[in-house]
Amino acid sequence: MHKLSLDAVAREHLEKAATASTGRSAGTVYGGHEQKLRQTVLGLTAGTSLAEHENPGESTLFVLNGRVRLHAGDDAWEGRAGDLLIIPPQRHSLEALEDSAVLLTVAK
């Protein structure tokens, strides 16, 4: 069994994002490309976006802290700490409305 604190991982990635030229930081906490399930924590500074990209499979976004907006086509959904956003099976983008950390879960 392996245990980790998502709060601590989120803080770590927010600190890294604050000093990164891209305004973001990410790390896989479970799984990987060779497995069906992958969970990644992303830290994003306010105003940082992940450009529109394809959906890699069934996926959700759990907001650990902060506030984000998920865009897909003409639709947009806001999420704040504790919200779970179901990522639609289409091209989408993510915008941090304030310093935020999210847990991205993808099942291929």
- Looking at residue 32, what is its pLDDT? 81
- Looking at residue 80, what is its pLDDT? 98
State which fold the 6-107 domain adopts.
Answer: Jelly Rolls (2.60.120)
- Looking at residue 57, what is its pLDDT? 81
DSSP 8-state code for residue 48:
-
Domain residue ranges of the chain, discontinuous segments joined by +: 6-107
DSSP 8-state code for residue 104:
E
The answer, yes or no, to whether residue 2 has pLDDT greater than 90, is: no
- Looking at residue 69, what is its pLDDT? 98
The answer, yes or no, to whether residue 56 has pLDDT greater than 90, is: no
Distance in angstroms (rounded) separating the CA atoms of residues 77 and 85:
8
Taking only the tens place, the pLDDT of each residue in 80-97 is 999 999 999 999 999 999
In this structure, are strands 37-44 and 24-31 parallel, antiparallel, or unpaired? Answer: antiparallel
- Looking at residue 33, what is its pLDDT? 78
